[in-house]
């Protein structure tokens, strides 16, 4: 009876032979190695997953940024082209006005009533008056464009300065304005003076 009781309580592993015990140990080591290998593969897979997710994020960022900048640059180019064309037109207008004003200025400066003979006075006077009228017409025609530019410059000065526009207008500004306002009267006075000189010369 005691022998039977002892055999029932003994573990079945205790009865393994040395070969069987060594084989079991090898299997445990093999399982451990496989688990370690699986763990390494899992880590590699996790790293590869993180790398691919980062690449996908960067690719999405590239596509979004590229699309955004393509849209912005396209619209900006349209604006720049339009502004460039407007600027070119403005420059061409300013060149044209400058050339026209320079021509009229030379013509008016060449008028010398003292050099006119009494016989040529009517003809020269008509030519001079025609030159004055042409200069006035050209000035009035160009004044609208010049006034717009001047107004833009004044508005810019108002934004950059702490002083009101009235203080920016100096004595020379009002002098030029007064000269422009009284220019027709001055021309009429010159004409009357020339007519008077011509009449006095003819009377002699």
Ordered by start, the domain boundaries in the chain are 19-110, 117-204
Residue 128 binned pLDDT confidence (cut-offs 50, 70, 90): confident
CA distance 50 to 44: 10
Residue range 145-201, pLDDT digits in tens: 776 554 444 444 444 444 444 444 565 555 566 666 666 666 777 777 776 676 666
Note the pLDDT of residue 75: 94
pTM above 0.75, yes or no: no
CA distance 161 to 138: 34
Burial class (CB in 10 A: 0-12, 13-18, 19+), 128: buried
Q: Which two tokens stand for residue 35?
A: 């688990």
- What does DSSP assign to residue 169? -
* Secondary structure element (H or E) that encloses residue 111, with its range: none
* Secondary structure element (H or E) that encloses residue 46, with its range: helix 18-109
């Amino acid at each position: 009876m005691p022998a039977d009781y002892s055999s029932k309580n003994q573990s079945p592993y205790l009865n393994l032979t040395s070969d069987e015990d060594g084989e079991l140990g090898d299997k445990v080591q093999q399982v451990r190695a496989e688990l370690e290998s699986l763990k390494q593969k899992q880590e590699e897979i996790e790293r590869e997953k993180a790398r691919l997710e980062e690449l996908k994020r960067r690719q999405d960022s590239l596509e979004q940024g590229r699309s955004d900048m393509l849209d912005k640059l396209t619209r900006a180019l349209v604006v720049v082209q339009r502004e460039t064309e407007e600027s070119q037109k403005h420059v061409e207008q300013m060149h044209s006005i400058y050339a026209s004003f320079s021509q009229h200025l030379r013509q008016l400066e060449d008028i010398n009533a003292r050099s006119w003979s009494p016989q040529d006075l009517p003809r020269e006077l008509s030519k001079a008056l025609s030159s004055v009228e042409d200069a006035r017409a050209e000035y009035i025609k160009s004044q609208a464009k010049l006034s717009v530019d001047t107004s833009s410059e004044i508005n810019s000065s108002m934004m950059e300065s702490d002083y009101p526009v009235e203080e920016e207008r100096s004595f020379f500004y009002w002098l030029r304005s007064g000269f422009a306002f009284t220019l027709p009267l001055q021309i009429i006075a010159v004409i009357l003076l020339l007519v008077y000189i011509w009449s006095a010369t003819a009377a002699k």
